[in-house]
Structure 1
Amino acid sequence: MKLGPKIRRLRKHRGLTLKDIAEKTGYTESFLSQVEREIASPSISSLKKISLALGIALTHFFEDKYEPQRILFLKRGEGKKLNSAASKAVFRLLAPNVPKGRMEPLLIAMEPGSIQGKGRYSHKGEEFVFLIKGKMEVFVGDKKYVMEEGDSLYFNSSLPHGWNNTGRGRTVVIWVVSPAES
């Protein structure tokens, strides 16, 4: 199922209106309607806010079918992939189809100049970042962390945060988000 119709189905199933989601996310009803109709393409940070407003994990948007997994093994290159033109990054879900998981591990490949959370956003939960390749800046609260290969960062997601790839080449990072339990 396409992303927009999936969001609409989840919203209606929960008895929520576009206005309800707009109030919870800070986005306009018009933008949300365009997302549901596949006219606008949301960034990952937008999807995260929408998922929190719907009370679901971000990974729920990328599940083809609901097959609960207690043990999940993926070979290299497997996992759901999402290309985000808005942030110039490719997100690979490392644990798809894990319902009510306590964390959402992602492998993110960022092109030079890639930016996520330009206006910075916050949500309930915690995050862990491990930089595999390249260089990037992560902004948490009023602090800037310059990360290089092998560096890690852990923070409370309620602090406004965002990142950008400041290097000349591709940056690769493992980013783990622990969503609030619903």
Structure 2
Amino acid sequence: MAGGRATPDKAAGLSIGSAIRDRRRGLGLTLKGLADSSGLSIPFLSQVERNLASPSLLSLEAIAQALNVDVDYFVGVPTPGQIVCRSNEHDRIDLESPVVYERLSGRHAERKMEALRLIVPPGLVAPTIHREGEGFWYILSGTLEMTVGRKKFVLNAGDSAHFDQRHPYSMRNVGKSEVRMIWVGTPAIFKD
């Protein structure tokens, strides 16, 4: 603190620059596209995104309008409901599947990962899929066979698997009881 005023925190600048870059990329905009929409220069926007310059309130407003968000999107603190998910607040995600999916992750719009609790019924064989990003599975109870590419693994309670989901993968409950597991993956797949 100097003269009773808080000095800017470098981490706060990092948050704004990263938030602008992430939102821009998420919308598929180039720096030129953002410059055209905001009326700001490409070099200035590049410096803002790299935390080499701090936008004025007017510049931040122009960036927010170009990215179709409010200014507080870049500077506001998430609400407790966006951060914490209480045990009685887990959303069930209806995918018309015999597998039960419950969201464990927060509810903020720009989350990069998803965390789910899955309940897999006995005998279920899931189709082989692949997608962008990483996947992490943690088995809470039961026995699950997973296949990644041509490799098969049997996972029991306490076992985990962390893999690149671009490789084809599938799962099968090989036990007589349901499998309870945690799945964490990137990018987030169930947007609100």
TM interval, shorter chain, is: 0.5 to 0.7
> Of 165, 170, 173, which aligns to 2:173?
165
Name the structure 1 match of 2:114.
Answer: 104
SS at match of 1:159: coil
User: TM-score scaled by structure 1?
Assistant: 0.55
Count of residues in correspondence between the two structures: 112
Find the residue that maps to 2:122 and give its secondary structure.
Answer: coil
Q: Which structure would you say has the larger Rg?
A: 2
TM-score relative to the length of structure 2: 0.53
Q: 2:149 is matched with which residue: 141, 161, 173?
A: 141
Match of 1:89 in 2: 99
Identical aligned pairs, as a percentage? 28
Judge which range, 146-155 or 70-79, deviates more.
Answer: 70-79
Name structure 1 gaps, 5 residues minimum.
1-13, 15-67
Counterparts of 1:70-81 in structure 2 under 5 Å? 72-81=83-92
Which deviations, in whole Å up to 9, do the C-alpha atoms of 1:148-170 show, x marking residues without a partner?
A: 00000000011001111111011
- Decide which structure has greater strand share: 1
Equivalent-residue separation in structure 2 for 1:106 and 1:137 (angstroms): 18
Q: Does the 8 A contact of 1:83 with 1:89 survive in 2?
A: no
The alignment yields a C-alpha RMSD, in angstroms, of 2.3
**Contact 1:109–1:171 (CA<8 Å) still a contact in 2?**
yes
Q: Specify the SS of the correspondent of 1:115.
A: coil
Provide runs of 4+ in structure 1 moved above 6 Å.
none
Residues of 2 paired with 1:138 and 1:98: CA distance? 31
1:175: how far off?
A: 0.4
Counterparts of 2:141 and 2:157, CA distance in 1: 5
Q: Does 1:126 align with 2:134?
A: yes
Render the CA deviation track for 1:107-144: whole Å, top value 9, x for unaligned: 0011111232x1x1111100000000111111111111
Q: What is the aligned partner in structure 2 of residue 151 from structure 1?
A: 159
